[in-house]
Amino acid sequence: MSSKKQIVQCVPNFSEGRDLAVVEKIADAFRNTPDVKLLDYSSDEDHNRCVITALGEAKAMKEAVIKAVGTAFELIDMTKHEGQHPRMGAADVVPFVPIKDITMEETVALAESVAEEIAEKFGQPIFLYEKAAKTPGRENLAKVRKGQYEAMAEKIKEPEWKPDFGPTEMPPQTGVTAVGARMPLVAYNINLDSSDPEVADKIAKKVRHISGGLRYCKGMGVELKDRGIVQVSMNMTDYSKTALYRVFELVKIEAQRYGVNVVGSEIVGAVPMEALVDSAAYYLRLEDFTMDQVLETSLME
């Protein structure tokens, strides 16, 4: 291991977006841990989910994550959970991202260590996914989570879906958790002036890679009932290879066939500066522009 301070990002997703007191208590685990900085946390009532983004020293991040997961297990009851977003556990997914002076291999080792401790401390079934996956079939989170909470109790009893850590009996209150390591992900949603969920579903199908769309794009349609509109909700798993402007333009094109317009888009959680600068350079038609020209880049060196 490197002697330098190893910095990782963690973006855990918890299955609570309506009780803000619970969200705050989960966030406190990151807010109150030395050498960890809580960068952002957001909750959504329709998804009934909160996303936390934290940055910190690897060992301190492990401590904060285990505190947060324990709080979630204590305060969230999956037997009563309903929401638009796919989910399988109170602490649904816990991805670690290498940021500075830490390799992907070391980040995978960190993810494994956290997964093992969560399983032992709380009796929680844990899947390893993305770069931490032990088998190819578990790299894709969508495959791991297929069936969601409702089907997970039976799924983890199947030999091919035996958890990487923890029991094969699912605790009803906490469900199942996925822990992994990955490249920086951009959670990017595009809102449409339609109230028809089928339209969003059809557009998402055209955009996401698994059904013939853009590489490094995962997507689904979501209904935002409180706003009377629908959304194409996406995870961009490698923004450097599939840019945000590209998926924005493709959603616009596909929406036109239904007489639907884009009314806005949103980034959930933190986003690498390069992902936004890349899209700005495209729309402004900047020639030969590089990140070195961004003032903040030199300030951070």
Check the CA dihedral 47-142-128-3 and report its sign: negative
Which positions are annotated as active-site residues? 85
Q: What stretches of 16-170 show up as alpha helix (H) in DSSP?
A: 20-31, 58-75, 104-122, 141-145, 148-155
227 alpha-carbon distance from chain centroid: 23
Q: What are the two backbone dihedrals, phi and then psi, of residue 130, each rounded to the nearest 5 degrees?
A: 55, -130
Q: What angle do the packed helices 197-207 and 244-256 form, to 10 degrees?
A: 130
Tally the residues of the chain.
301
- Tokens representing 257? 């066939």
- Collapse the DSSP code of 180 into the 3-class scheme (helix H, G, I; strand E, B; otherwise coil) and give the result: strand
Beta strands in the chain (DSSP E): 7-10, 13-14, 36-44, 49-57, 91-100, 126-130, 177-181, 186-192, 217-224, 229-236, 262-268
